[in-house]
Structure formats: C-alpha cells, structure tokens
Amino acid sequence: MRVIQKLRTNGVHCGAVIVGIGTAVLVPGMSSAQSVSEKADEPAIHEVIVTAQKREEKLQDVPIAISAVSAEQIAARGLEDVLDLRSIAPNLTVTRYPTSNVTSHVAIRGGVTINGAMYFEQTTGMYLDGVYLGKAVGSVFDVVDLDRIEVLRGPQGTLYGRNTMAGAVNFITRKPSGEFGGTASLEIGNYGAHIEKLSLDLPRFGIARLSLAARKEDRDGLVKLTGGGELDSRDKLGARVALALDVADNFTVDYHFDYTRVDQAPPHNQLYRLNPPAAGPTAPLFAAAAAYVSRDWRTTVSTNFPGYEQLELHGHALTLTWDVNEHNQLKSISARRTLRNDDSLDLDGTPLTIATSVRISGFEQKSQELQWVGTTEQLNYVAGLYYYEDDGQTINPHIYFFGTDSSQYGFGTKAKSAYGQLDWHATDALTLTVGLRRTEEDKNGWRYKSITGAGAPIPKVSAEASFAATTPMASVAYRISERLNVYAKYSEGFKSGGFPGEAGSAAEAVKPYDSEDQKTYEIGAKFRSDDGRLQLNAAVFHNTIGNMQVSQFTGQPSVTVIRNAGKATTKGFELEGVWVPIDALRLQLGYGYLKGEYDEFLEAPAVGMPVANVADNRSFAHAPKHTLNLTADARLGRTSWGLWRGLADYSYTSWYYKSPYQIVRVDPTRQVAGDTIVKGFGLLNLRLALSEIQVGGPGTGEFALWSRNVLDKQQPASYIDFGPGAFAGMTLAFFHEPRTYGATFSYRW
C-alpha cells in the first residue's frame, strides 16, 4: 500500500486517514462518544472451541500448542488464505513459493518443505473441513466463508498422520444455519483492486440446510511492462456450496464443494545479483544483463517472454455423522480434489533470453476416513482408519541461452493408516493420554528429460517404493487449579519419502529418498486469570530430526537435488497472551524463539571430494530466531451513526537463510547461503471501521478504511540463486507486496 507516498505527493488526505487509524487504536479513550462496555454476564475473553483432537474442546483445556482465530477475528484482520497465517501464531512463517502466487512455503518450528514442486511432500499438513490438502501447489486458494482457523504446532502424527511432522493447519468453514441471512461486501483499493463477496444462508426446507458463498478479486499488476502489460496482478474467483441434510435427530449428511479459478499475471522475478564473466562466449550476454540488476524494487521492467498464471481447483467432501448414543459418534469423510496449474515465466526478469520456464501440471487426490469418537466417565477415545491416493504430473519445458529442454515428471501415492488415541482421567486433575498411528505408503515416480545445447538427456525411467512409519504420542496433563493447566508431551511425526522428479540423471531419478522423521519433547502451561481478563499460554519444545530431506537447486536446467542429509535439532520457546485491560480494548501477543542446527549433514565439501559431515558449514533454512505478532483491537465508542472500532495488527520475523547452502565458501562452484538471506521485516496492518450502521432493511452495514503493509516494507521476501556456474551467479529476488489501502462496505442481515 502506497499511502505514505500518496501523502507526500497528494497532500494530507490519505495521511490523515492513516494517522487517525493509528491514533484511534493506540488511544481508544480519545473518542468523544460514549464508551462501549460488555454485557455483565459475558466473560472478558470468550472461550474458543477447537476440534484439534477430533472433538469439541475449549482451547485452554487442550494439551497442545495451538493457536485459534475465530470468525470475528478473521473478518476484522482480513485473513483470506494461507498466506495470512504468518500473523496469527509464534514460530510460524508463511511465504509464497518463488515464481508462484498459488504455492506456499509453510514453516512451523523450523520444519519446512523448501521445494514446492508437486512430487515433494509437505512438512505441515493443511486441512479443509477435515480433508487433507495433498500438495503445496494450489494451497494459496480462496477459503470462502471461514468460521475458524486452528494452527497446531509440533508433530500431529497420531490423529492427523502423514506429512504433519511440523504441525497442522485446520481451516473450518461455517455450517449452514437453516435460517435466512447473509453478508454482502464490496472492497475497493489502490492498484485498481476490487473484491466482491457474498455469503448467503437459505431458510431450511424440509431436512435440508443450504449456504452459498462466492468471492471475486481483481487487481492491476504491481509491476508494469515497458511494452505494455503487467506482472503480479490478481484475477481470482472462489466459491463454496455447503449442504446439510438432517436425516434424523442423530444422523446428518454434510456435502461441501469448493471451487477456485485463477487467471492472472505471475510475480516479477527481479534480477538482483550477477557476476558477468570478463571473457568467453557468454560474456556479451551477461554484460548486457548487468544493466538490469537492481537491489531496489522496480515498478516498471522489461521482459521478452510471456507470463501467466492459471489455476482451476475443484473440491468435493461428503461427511456422514451418526450419533450412536449420548457417548459415541461415528463419522465418515469422503473427499476428492482435482487441480490444474499452468504458468509461464520470464525466469531472468530481463528482455534477454537467459532463462524461461513453462509448467503444465495436473493433480488428483482421493481420500476416505472413518472415525469413532467416544467418552465414558473416565475415558475419551478416538479411533480411525484412513486411505489416501493421488496421481499427478508436470511438464516443464525451458528455453535457455544455450538451448532448450523438456523436463517432465510424474508421481503417485497410495497410503493407508490406522490410529487410536485414549485419554484417561485418572483423577479430576490428572489426565494421561496415549496414541498410536501406523501408516504404510506405496509410491511411484517417473522422469523424462531431453536437452539441446548442454547436458545429457534422461530417457523415461520409472520406479516404485514403499514407506512405512509408526508414530506414537504420550502426554500428561495436570489441572493445578481452575485457572492453570500444565502438560508434558512426547510425540513423533514423519514426512514421507519419494522420488526426485527433477533429478539430474536417470540413476538418481529412480533412487528414492527416505522418509524424514521427528521426535518432539514439549512442556506447556495454560493460564487464565480469575477475572477472565488475562490469558497466557507458554510452551518449550525440543525436536530431533532424522533422515532430514534437503532440497537444493543446482543451477543446472530443471535440476534439483534431494538428499537425506542427516540429523538436526530444533528447540525453542513460545508465548501467547490475550489481555483485556478494559472492556473496550483487547490486546494480543505471540512470540516465538527458535534455534535450529544440523548435527549431521552428509555431503561432499566440494565437487570431487569424498562425502563428509559438513554440518558446521551448512545453513539451516526457514528458521528465523524470533517471530512476533501483536494485535490491538479497540471499540472506540458509539455514536448515532454506529459503533467505531479500530484494529492494529503487526507481525515481525527476524532474518533467516533462504536455502541450505554453504555458509563459508569452500566450493567456488556452489551457492553461498549469505547471498540469499531474507532480512528481518515487520508488517503493520491498520483498520478503522464504523459498524452497526442503520441503512434500512433487515440488517446493518459496516464501512471500514484499511491499510496493509503500512510501513511500505520493500525488500526481498525470497530468492532463486542459480549459483556461480554457467549462469554467472545470477540471483533473482521476489519482493514483498507494497503498501495497499482502500475501503470496504459490507451489509449483514
């Protein structure tokens, strides 16, 4: 958002808006209107109900490090998709995958999937209404009509299973109410942005309840092309249908359908660093490219290859819920999801032909889960069976300055698991929990690559492999008082192995890499004050990671190396707090400290040398030492027009390494980690709203002014480093979005 720039050039109008928002949030008593107070019988901090353990429980009662955001906070903070999660939980970082606005990097406590290619598995499992979302590609989609977001930190290998080694993220959408109502909104912002949203609940008809929702977003590109056109634009449509059939008092059928269509320009790959050779056949080309190197974000650029980003995603989920009796519930969750993702990129960010990329990808997944959830006087229990299968492929042709290539790969998975978890309430204060999950997976992969001008072709090769894991957990929870709970927990998780779809040789393409595993020890405490105005949650954790999967881009055409590098340790501390000092002000804090280091990293220190432990000279990627999020939510006062409310939302992430490269240059042919450090950054969002506006009809309106990235942080958020080889040390940077601002009007009935 370019509010401050507008202030400098266009006077004080926009500046007054931003100053007004900031002053109102920080000094809620400034309003001349009468103050707003809570009803006497309502608690200062409302209890948040979560389903992290497959049953409804109070957040403060769950012996898990978990952050949860309610529907009200989702709306107030403008949380739209997975990329907005970075501001809601400690030791959580979320960034876009370089070159794609629809693929995400999600890191929890240093656990991350650096490679976003479709053959690679995630470290953090993402779920939509209980359905596992299989790939990082397509994970940045519009989740319409959200009711709650839950972020579970630490391995969730018992109740969630595959690829939840670092944690799990649950998106829970709103269920149809059976009563007529809805919300419609229009948002207008700079860069020609406009978003239209509609959520509609229809009256119950017979046994059926139905809700419909849609969201349409358009925005001009953030970067203009000199020859016409733009990059980093938005053209997205998201829709959702939710149907509930109350077949009997104790039997419900829920069907959910979600749809996302994206047809927009991709992000700009800005040339950030280059070391052109002094002589040789490529010297003139890279000398010409050096003129386009810039460390500052450019808003007008030149390219010579078309750029587009297209995604179409369909999701179906059918849930059958049978309340057998007062204490037992059986549930079946059947799901099918498909996506097609096509994109085209000028991969060097210049009007010269150095590197281009086209990706044509298709993916389908199916899953079936059966759950049994029950209770007795002293026991809570969960048992289940789970089946998952997927199939996908990517065609990835390139044009390089020395030739062309056709890189293709495919993959498939069939996984099945059985799990159970038992809570024993030994006393009113003491609860002992044990859980176990057994997962078995069969995987296949194929690889083909032809290249002209350099390198060797790879004939089509294929292979199959099986992986298995048993992931236990055990915890002890003790209620010291009605206000203080403590727990100690041991848990395990794993990330499945597979085949390197972007391997550089036929032998490597059919050699599977092993599953990555993690063992976690965690101690936590959850506190709530007697007056209900203060809530504090803290956790200390220690993770040991084995068979760590490391993905490194070699700088060679469409070649990424994946290795089980060795062992690592991550440890840290987390603190979350909510304080309501007065009825009209809510303050929220989240802080995370993280230290990650390799205990063993097996790799040749330099090309031609024998494999050795180089742990002391390899960077630990996507593991910032400090993460912080702060929120101030104030009801400023009531006037005859309505209720004034201000919100300030700030998140900070300290510096971190982008990729696991050498820290000190030993091998001159490989990348150096320090060249692609993501510097520490803070993002501030502000919002001022007038709600409960009486505009006629059955409902009320709300008018809001907002600004995101108010401080206009303009620095690289990610990089691609081609290395010092044939590409002359070419490094691309992908910048944070600039300051945006606008207004939103919504009507609720």
Look at residue 142 and tell me whether its pLDDT is greater than 50.
Answer: yes
Q: Of 21-25, 115-119, 164-168, which range is least confident?
A: 21-25
Which CATH number fits the domain that encloses residue 502?
2.40.170.20
Q: Has residue 209 been placed in a domain? A: no
Provide the pairing of β-strand 716-721 with 534-553.
Answer: unpaired
Comparing 21-30, 69-78, 106-115, 400-409, which segment has the lowest mean pLDDT? 21-30
Q: Is the pLDDT of residue 172 over 80?
A: yes
Residue 54: which domain range?
3-184+327-748
Range in 134-143, 207-216, 245-254, 430-439 the model is least confident about: 134-143
**pLDDT per position as a tens digit, 368-386:** 999 999 999 999 999 999 9
Q: Is residue 224 part of a domain?
A: no
578-604: per-residue pLDDT in tens? Answer: 999 999 999 999 999 999 999 999 888
E-state strands within 265-378: 270-273, 300-301, 308-323, 328-346, 356-375
Name the more confident of 556 and 95: 95
- Per-residue confidence at 556, pLDDT binned at 50, 70, 90? low
- Has residue 217 been placed in a domain? no
Place of tokens 């957990």: 473
**How far is 13 from 96, CA to CA, in rounded Å?**
33
HSE value, Cβ hemisphere, 13 Å, CA-based, for 315 = 28
Over 60: is that where the pLDDT of 136 sits? Answer: yes
Q: Is the pLDDT of residue 34 over 80?
A: no
- Give the least confident one: 64-78, 479-493, 530-544: 64-78
Give which of 65, 87, 67, 63 is closest to 76, Cα–Cα. Answer: 87
Q: How far apart are the first and last CA of the chain?
A: 31
pLDDT tens, position by position, 454-464? 667 889 999 99
Average pLDDT, the chain: 89
Q: What is the mean pLDDT of residues 509-536?
A: 94
Lowest mean pLDDT among 483-497, 559-573, 619-633: 559-573
- Examine residue 141 and state whether it is found in any structural domain, yes or no: yes
* C-beta of residue 502 within 8 angstroms of C-beta of residue 117: yes
> What percent of the chain has pLDDT above 70?
93
The pLDDT value recorded for residue 219 is 97
How distant, in Å, are the alpha carbons of 484, 646, 650 from that of 632?
Answer: 25, 8, 9
Using alpha carbons, select from 129, 123, 124, 134 the residue that is nearest to residue 367.
134
Whether 711 maps to a domain, the answer reads: yes
- 362 has a pLDDT exceeding 50: yes
Q: What is the largest CA-CA distance in the chain?
A: 81
Q: Say whether pLDDT at 678 is over 90.
A: yes
In a domain, 296, yes or no: no
Using one digit for the tens of pLDDT, what is the confidence trace for 100-123? 888 888 889 988 877 778 888 888
Closest of 481, 506, 487, 354 to residue 63, by C-alpha = 487
In a domain, 672, yes or no: yes
Across the range 461-489, mean pLDDT stands at 96
Model confidence band, residue 13 (pLDDT cutoffs 50, 70, 90): very low
Judge whether 25 lies within some domain: yes
Tell which wins on pLDDT, 93 or 747. Answer: 747
Per-residue pLDDT band at 43 (split at 50, 70, 90): low
pLDDT band at 81 (very low <50, low <70, confident <90, very high): confident
User: Across residues 340-359, what is the average pLDDT?
Assistant: 94
Inter-CA distances, 556 with 100, 293, 402, 502, 722, Å: 20, 21, 12, 11, 8
Question: How much is the pLDDT for 26?
Answer: 36
Instruction: Give the per-residue pLDDT at 7.
Output: 31
Confidence of residue 17 (pLDDT cuts 50, 70, 90): very low
Could you please report the per-residue DSSP string of 583-649?
Answer: TTEEEEEEEEEEEEEEEEEEE-SSTTSPPEE-GGGB--BT--SEEEEEEEEEEEEE-SS-EEEEEEE
Our count of domains for the chain comes to: 1
Please give the pLDDT value at position 227: 86
Residue 14 has pLDDT above 50, yes or no: no
